[in-house]
Structure 1
Amino acid sequence: MFTIENWPAAAMGEAPRVRASSMPGSLVDLAAPGVDMVVWARDVPPVWHETLETCALPDGCITLAGTLDEVTLALRRPDLRRRYPAFLVEDVAQTAALVATLAVCTSLTVMLGDPAAWPDAGPLPAARLRALCCYGAGTVDWVSGRVGGCDLLSSISPYALAFVPAWGEAHVAWRFARLRERAVGLEIVAG
């Protein structure tokens, strides 16, 4: 287990305060004051890596919107299950349920697809929670401070889940970075 608090150091200037851990219990930090993002750096089975290295991934992004039940049903559609590996679709469904629970809401928007086709990230609407993940050969990056007039970027590892609450004090300017062709981005917005 590891935990990082107030990442980066205050000397870096205005930056989101991030707490990261390999333990799922770290998600309770979303309720802590002064936290702008919580990262669950989860361990995933090796077969997830192996499967994404060998499967054909579709271009573009898909968007699913509705209640948790509607999103879950859409994720079970055969056409969607043919586009992505079974483990990934199941993980997206479980993550959507987690986001709905943490945000205490049932209305979700799920975007899934090629990080290179992702629209630019904007500010979070009020009273919402955003979850981000990059499966495979990609990362989620965010601006974690400024030094000498230049933005500093920090990254979470592939498969880690980042939770960005709208009730945090700092705006988290994030983006997906694809390291190689084998990456799938996930963004879930609750609200």
Structure 2
Amino acid sequence: DKLSEKTGLNFKIKTEENRSNLSGNLVLKVEKNIINMDGCHITENKQQEKDYDNCSLNAARITERYTPYTCPICNKDFSNRGNLNKHMKIHSNEKPFSCTQCKKRFMYKDLLVKHLRVHTGDKPYSCNQCNKSFSQSSGLVEHLKTHTGDKPYLCQQCGKSFSSHSNMMRHVQTHTGERPFACNVS
């Protein structure tokens, strides 16, 4: 990435929890040498807070990435053995967690817990603006865009924008003429 090319160091970037003011102060902590990046100046072993108008990273935390564990199959790197072991299930297709109601199987327990909401009807994620509820946090995140008007997905053919990727892909089919669902009623 851009930062690694400029510094010769391997970094990962984590966005701050509060994303409402991304153009505000930039807080960076760096454990290596001084880094110059698009007008950002970070001093060795110091934490600085300063308003960077011309900086390409806003509200980001940068830490040196240490990844000593590598997947022997796909060469993906991990910071600890537990994450590597969890990742290895992808290659083995092991699915030890089974739904007692429909027998569907899952690699991870948290995926089974999410799936069980299909059977229970549990919707623990509620919109604080209209009280609509969702079984998954991702559903709430997509829904919140209807209140903010955020439509980050753009059709490359006509320029129309959409709040979700799935809505944009459904729209793209109007350009291609693709009809993936057939009506069986005669």
TM class by shorter-chain length?
Answer: under 0.3
Bigger Rg, structure 1 or 2: 2
TM-score (norm 2): 0.24
The structure that is strand-richer by fraction is 1
